[in-house]
Amino acid sequence: MGKGRLERIYLKRFKGGPMDEVSQAKLIRGQGLAGNADQKGKRQVTLLEKERWEDLMKALGADLDPSIRRANLLVSGISLTNSRQKILKLGDARLCIYGETKPCEQMDKALLGLKDLMFDDWGGGAFAEVLDDGEIYVGNDIIWENPE
C-alpha cells in the first residue's frame, strides 16, 4: 500500500446533481469537502482508484470519464481494497476510511453491467470521514499513515 497521487477532485452541487471537476478543494474536519452536497456522517468523502476504473472500462469495452462514478477523489498508486479504519494522508489533511462504497443503479444507467462489475472487492471505491482541515490539490501525494 505505498505512495499514491490525487488525480482529480470532484464536487457535487446537490444530491443527484452534476460532478464539477476542480483543481483544489478544502477538506473540513467532521464535515467533508467545502461546497460539496454531502456533509457530515461517516460518508463525507468518496474515493475511487484510477487503475480500478480503467480495468472496469477495459472489461466492458468502454471509455467513460471517472466522474460517472460520482466519487469526490480519484486516486492512483494505492489500493483502497480492505482499507477500512486505515488513515490516508492527503496534503495536510487525513481521512479515515470507513468502508466500501457500493455502486447504485446510476452505474447501469451510465453503462449496462457496470454496477455488477463494480460490486465486489471494493470496485466502487471507499468512503471516508475527514479527520483534519486542509487544502488539497490535484497532484498531491497521498500515503497511508498506518500501512501494514
Mean residue pLDDT of the chain comes to 91
The dihedral sign for the CA sequence 27, 34, 23, 114 = positive
CA R_g for the chain = 14
pLDDT at residue 27, rounded to an integer: 96
**Number of H helices and number of E strands within the chain?**
3, 11
pTM: 0.93
B/e letters for 99-138, b = 16+ CB within 10 Å, e = fewer, are: ebbebeeebeebbeebbebbeeebbbbbbbbbbbebebeb
Query: How many Å apart are CA 123 and CA 14, to the nearest integer?
Result: 24
Average pLDDT over residues 126-133: 96
Predicted confidence (pLDDT) per residue in 39-97, tens digit: 777 889 999 999 999 999 999 999 999 998 999 999 999 999 999 999 999 988 999 99
Q: Which helix (H) or strand (E) holds 57?
A: helix 50-60
